[in-house]
Structure 1
């Protein structure tokens, strides 16, 4: 069965002005368009276009709760992934996600403590991990992702110290203390913890670096951008510890548990485990639980976590992250796909016909479809761009 689904973009403040509606050929909402959720997550379940097709179910969460063991395949009772169209018009918060074990323990702990699910200081909204991948749809998609080597961070600090020394009002003591935390190549945690504590002299250091960056040309453009949105936030300096990357259209990142990251600007297709567990680490007015964040973060220096797709044919590639929860097929022409469970498809250009073992459907730009596991191997005809999310 192919079930037409839809949703309204969530209007988070960092969303873009109409990029999602422009991609999908729909009417602009008039509000920030941040994320269009396609899935069964209770935070914003996809609406079913024709409820009569599924005995009156109004949204995908209701359908899965009622008949998940049948439509998801192999007795599965919940849809394990969430597909999003994401448009960042401004930087998102620095954040990380827990492992499955950390999520289960944290969710149970906060429940036992009586922390309401809607409380501003709630860290764990569910008991699931949230690994995720992002594929750039815009020509450029900018992000921070993972810690870079301490030597690279130290070089940035030393360069800022040089700019300070050459200024009319140098403040060398600020940089001496910062550099002291950056001397040990193996202790990224100590430097991060010192910055995120926001204790003196960190606020003064943020102010000083922001002022220096204002006159530093392109060299510290990232600092200017972040300070322009989050003045005084220690995340402005934490960003200098992280890999800064601009993806070109079609490039992707995979962000596993513990990876600190932030999307800065651009339009992308995001696929993740169906969870809303976020530990924030700066660049936000929201709650930052420093001890919990420190327990989740992976402080290993690592290269940019690119995810290279596997080429299936001239018209199809697939992104296969090292998790079982999801994979993302990108189709531009005729082909086929074998489903190991249910799937969600969205067409962002052109049109396609999908034929499964029991049914078929046409899908055009801006449309999305939930595909039950019973369709098995589906053939795909047409041209444009079709994203198909399913499990591995």
Structure 2
């Protein structure tokens, strides 16, 4: 039968102190609570209500019954996906995620360098890739992918500082975006501080330009951070509730505000490029960064039955996300392996009751499981199983 889960919350400075406690129906902790993790990643696994075992241990005890032959054959005896709730009150770092080949190379290189898994200089915590999607629960602001270099150049050409006008000229060239990013991320600290100071002054004076208004907003949170230079080059997206964006490997992005559900491959590999007090690994960012403009992929939900919408992503076998609007008398099939998270109202799956904010795991052996109730839930399985 389905298994009720307790799910860990990660506290980061950018998180909201109230959103996740409200979702879970408990008092705030007084700390920013940024991410609710639902899954079996070893960094923060969900646990089974009743016996306290990590979900990973339940799966390892009988992979065939919990995951099914197809998933074990494709991904091995581990849950290949992870579902999060993001509660973003302050902008996150600008970051990129690796391909699976880059992740293996980076993990092995950091092992060889003697970096422990909890070393703050470490970027690779596993050998997996981290394709991810953000589905807005509230209006959700994000920077995803590079903007059109010509559009950025047109804004920079109106600047007074010679370095910024010079950057516009570089952007007009065929390989200018890559050359400018490499220059800005490898400047020595003194040179970077000089141009960041010029940019923040320009942004303060030109808040009628949306591009500079955004830089001004970010500078209030991250003054003197060279990530402001990179933010200037990125494309701003505002998602309405239910809208989604997929972030491929190598695409720079930063989530700015709002609440979203984030399905992803089960990984914690993040390469930070700026807007953070944490470790920035510029050489590794430059190794995996992709420079084509408009790297974000809009994902439009597709009706798949009464109250059921799917969010298809081509070529990513780990992600089979659906949003379910439940009404009395409706039963939606949810064959496992599958995670289900209720975000509004209440639901029941295979005899397990889920209040708002609660989640469950449906094993592959429960091929006839159904979801009922009155509310809204997200379900996550593999694209292999969703296609059945």
TM-score, scaled to structure 1:
0.90
SS class of match (1:23) = helix
Please point out which of 68, 72, 82 is paired with 1:73.
68
The answer to whether the 8 Å contact 1:149/1:185 transfers is no
What displacement does 1:212 show? 2.4
Summarize the Cα distance change of 1:216–1:326 in structure 2 as closer, same or farther, 3 Å threshold: same
Instruction: Provide the C-alpha distance between the structure 1 equivalents of 2:176 and 2:183, rounded to a whole number of angstroms.
Output: 11
Task: Kindly provide the CA deviation profile for residues 245-281 of structure 1, in whole angstroms up to 9, marking residues without a partner as x.
Answer: 1111110010111111010111010010000111111
1:231-242 mapped onto 2 (5 Å cutoff) = 231-242=223-234
Question: CA offset at residue 325 of structure 1?
Answer: 0.6
How far, CA to CA, are the matches of 2:110 and 2:83 in structure 1? 27
Q: Which residue of 1 aligns with 2:271?
A: 279
Q: How much does 1:180 deviate? A: 3.5
Partner of 2:386: none
Measured in 1, the distance between the counterparts of 2:341 and 2:96 equals 27
1:244 corresponds in structure 2 to 236
Following superposition, the deviation at residue 335 of structure 1 comes to 4.3
Q: Which residue in 1 is equivalent to 2:366?
A: 375
Number of the residue aligned with 1:54: none
For residues 109 and 186 of structure 2, the distance between their equivalents in structure 1, rounded to whole angstroms, comes to 24
Deviation at 1:297, TM superposition (A): 0.9
Tell me if structure 1 keeps the 8 A contact 2:98–2:130: yes
Does the CA-based 8 Å contact 1:144-1:261 persist in structure 2?
yes
Q: Where do 1:177-216 residues align within 5 Å?
A: 177-199=166-188, 201-216=191-206
From 353, 363, 385, the equivalent of 2:354 is 363
Q: Hey, what does 1:167 align to over in structure 2? A: none
Aligned mates of 2:154, 2:240 — CA distance in 1: 27
> 53, 56, 59: which is aligned to 2:54?
59
Equivalent residue, structure 1, for 2:105: 105
1:349 to 327, 334, 344: 344
Q: Unpaired segments of 5 or more residues in structure 2?
A: 384-388
Deviations 1:38-86 (A, max 9, x none): 11111111122111xxxxx522122223333431111441000111011
1:281 partner SS: strand
Q: How many residues align?
A: 371
Equivalent runs, 1:225-374 vs 2, <5 Å: 225-302=217-294, 304-322=296-314, 323-333=316-326, 334-339=330-335, 341-355=336-350, 360-374=351-365
Q: Indicate conservation of the 8 Å contact 1:151/1:185, yes or no.
A: no
Tell me if structure 2 keeps the 8 A contact 1:349–1:386. Answer: yes
Contact 2:94 2:227 in 1 (8 A): yes
State the Cα distance separating 1:35 from its structure 2 match. Answer: 0.2
1:388 aligns with 2:379: yes
Stretches of structure 1 that go unaligned for 5 or more consecutive residues are 52-56, 165-171
TM-score scaled by length of structure 2: 0.91
Give the whole-Å Cα distance in 2 for the aligned partners of 1:25 and 1:198: 47
CA contact (8 A) 2:247 2:296 kept: no
RMSD: 1.7
